[in-house]
């Protein structure tokens, strides 16, 4: 599955009913952003994030570790946790594994993440080992806190009507439902440390496992090597989640390596910059060649944008800096990613292997 990123409880420009129509089954929310605005306490009071943003399907929240690493100017890491400054107003905050889990319990996503340190790149081996060990200790603390407090999710007492209890015979009753906590593998670009991190994280025991600390500036072949070596150390019968990846080609490739879940800002962010993914390759809609092009953006795409609008119109909206450009471009790119993943799942369900998927993909490119 591919998870669109809805940083502050919104996939930028796209109403939730359109996300449903696109077939989005799970959204990613950013704990760091939600903690700063509108604040965790408010979300909890209003019954949790599903109810707050009117999203009845699944949500995953990250732990805030990556945003503290990438967005905060001043951060200070200690054994206890991380002091950081808000990118909004410069105010000072402290996240520890326990508070990051507490925040995620109050937000109430279906899947939440252990608090980790995202190791910078490049880094010396000793630094990477130290950071990995810290992440492992934080993983233990995250799990311990979660086990003690997992009953405190806001929706156990405050379940929105559209999220009706499943049939009690076929699953847990609402009152027994809790979130799923995933661990995060770190270890920089060091294959041995990655394997060790995977095995020791697995030893702590989580509902699923993420591979973090990639796409931080390293070459693409290194990312792939790390993923390949790490994923085989993670249990195949539990979700394996590669964080912050990638292009359409990459998400197919990583699926074939055994990855079950991915998220990335690429489809949504690229859309806002006029970069559109199509079955004929990537299109920069601002280019003059599209000014009088009456073809749909992607003739093979059935999304509401390709069914109705021409490249000429989309190019005009972008050139005129119209809000609708961001809206329509984002809808199309998400549709393309979700179609890609649907094709991957369909192919898997037919028992066809990695090679087939890659071939389909290559054929679709110019």
* Residue closer to its own copies (CB basis): 88 or 165: 88
CB 334 within 8 A of CB 4: yes
Q: How far apart (Å, rounded) are the C-alpha atoms in residues 41 and 55?
A: 19
Q: Considering the rule CB under 8 A, would residue 46 count as an interface residue with its own copies?
A: yes
Q: How far is the CB of 28 from its own copies (least distance, A)?
A: 16
Q: Token digits for 32?
A: 């760091």
Whether omega for the bond prior to residue 246 falls within 30 degrees of 0, making it cis, is yes
Q: Considering the rule CB under 8 A, would residue 328 count as an interface residue with its own copies?
A: yes
Q: Which of 23, 37, 192, 287 binds its own copies (CB under 8 A)?
A: 37
* Residue closer to its own copies (CB basis): 170 or 294: 294
* Residue closer to its own copies (CB basis): 17 or 237: 17
Q: Which stretch binds its own copies (CB under 8 A): 67-75, 108-116, 119-127, 312-320?
A: 312-320
Question: Site mask, its own copies, residues 252-291, x = CB under 8 A?
Answer: ---------------------------------------x
90: CB partners within 8 A, 6+ apart: none
Q: How far is the CB of 295 from its own copies (least distance, A)?
A: 12
* Residue closer to its own copies (CB basis): 13 or 213: 13
Q: Which of 27, 53, 306, 341 binds its own copies (CB under 8 A)?
A: 53
Buried b / exposed e over 319-351, threshold 16 CB at 10 Å, is: eeeeeebbbbbbbbbbbbbbbbbeebeebeeee
Nearest to 166 by CA among 120, 213, 211, 110: 110
Question: What 3-state DSSP class applies to 1?
Answer: coil
Q: Which of 174, 191, 222, 312 binds its own copies (CB under 8 A)?
A: 312
* Residue closer to its own copies (CB basis): 121 or 158: 158
* Residue closer to its own copies (CB basis): 103 or 136: 103
217: CB partners within 8 A, 6+ apart: 121
Nearest to 230 by CA among 260, 257, 264: 257
CB 266 within 8 A of CB 277: no
Q: Considering the rule CB under 8 A, would residue 3 count as an interface residue with its own copies?
A: no
Q: How far apart (Å, rounded) are the C-alpha atoms in residues 201 and 133?
A: 10
159-198 positions binding its own copies, by CB under 8 A:
none
Q: Which stretch binds its own copies (CB under 8 A): 15-23, 76-84, 170-178, 210-218?
A: 15-23
* Residue closer to its own copies (CB basis): 39 or 235: 39
Q: Which of 1, 3, 4, 16 binds its own copies (CB under 8 A)?
A: 16
Q: How far apart (Å, rounded) are the C-alpha atoms in residues 129 and 260?
A: 27
Across 44-139, the runs of DSSP E, i.e. the strands, are: 58-61, 75-77, 82-85, 92-95, 111-113
Q: Which of 309, 356, 360, 364 binds its own copies (CB under 8 A)?
A: 309
Place of tokens 């095995």: 199
Q: Which of 190, 253, 263, 339 does the annotation list as catalytic? A: 263
Q: How far is the CB of 47 from its own copies (least distance, A)?
A: 8
260 a catalytic residue:
no
Nearest to 258 by CA among 350, 360, 344, 191: 344
Q: Considering the rule CB under 8 A, would residue 360 count as an interface residue with its own copies?
A: no
Q: Token digits for 67?
A: 């945003």
62 a catalytic residue:
yes
- Residues marked active site are found at 62, 263
Chain residues in the site for its own copies (CB under 8 A):
8-17, 37-38, 42, 45-46, 52-54, 291-292, 294, 304, 308-310, 312-313, 316-317, 319-320, 322-324, 326-328
């Amino acid at each position: 599955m591919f998870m669109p990123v809805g940083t502050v409880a919104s996939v930028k420009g796209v109403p939730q009913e359109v996300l449903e129509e696109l077939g989005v089954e799970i959204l990613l929310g950013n704990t760091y952003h939600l903690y700063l605005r509108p604040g965790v306490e408010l979300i909890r009071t209003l019954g949790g994030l599903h109810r707050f943003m009117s999203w009845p399907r699944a949500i995953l929240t990250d732990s805030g570790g990556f945003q503290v690493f990438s967005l905060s100017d001043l951060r200070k890491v200690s054994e206890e946790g991380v002091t950081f400054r808000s990118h909004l107003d410069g105010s000072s905050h402290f996240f520890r594994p326990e508070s990051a889990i507490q925040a995620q319990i109050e937000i109430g996503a279906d899947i939440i993440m252990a608090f980790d340190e995202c190791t910078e790149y490049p880094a010396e081996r000793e630094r990477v080992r130290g950071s990995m060990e810290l992440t492992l200790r934080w993983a233990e603390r995250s799990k311990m806190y979660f086990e003690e407090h997992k009953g405190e999710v806001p929706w156990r007492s405050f379940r929105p009507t559209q999220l009706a209890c499943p049939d009690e015979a076929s699953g847990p009753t609402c009152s027994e439902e809790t979130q799923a906590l995933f661990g995060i593998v770190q270890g920089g670009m060091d294959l041995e440390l990655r394997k060790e991190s995977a095995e020791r994280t697995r030893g702590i025991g989580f509902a699923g496992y993420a591979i973090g600390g990639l796409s931080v500036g390293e070459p693409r072949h290194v990312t792939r090597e790390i993923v390949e070596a790490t994923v085989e150390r993670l249990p195949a019968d539990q979700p394996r989640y590669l964080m912050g990846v990638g292009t359409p080609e990459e998400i197919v490739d990583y699926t074939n390596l055994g990855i079950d879940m991915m998220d990335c800002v690429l489809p949504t962010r690229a859309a806002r910059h006029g970069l559109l993914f199509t079955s004929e390759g990537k299109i920069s809609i601002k280019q003059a060649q599209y000014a009088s092009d009456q073809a749909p953006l992607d003739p093979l795409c059935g999304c509401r944008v390709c069914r109705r609008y021409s490249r000429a119109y989309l190019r005009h909206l972008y050139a005129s800096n119209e809000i609708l450009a961001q809206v329509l471009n984002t809808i199309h790119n998400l549709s393309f990613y979700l179609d890609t993943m649907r094709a991957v799942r369909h192919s898997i369900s037919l028992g066809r292997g990695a090679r087939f998927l890659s071939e389909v993909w290559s054929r679709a490119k110019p």
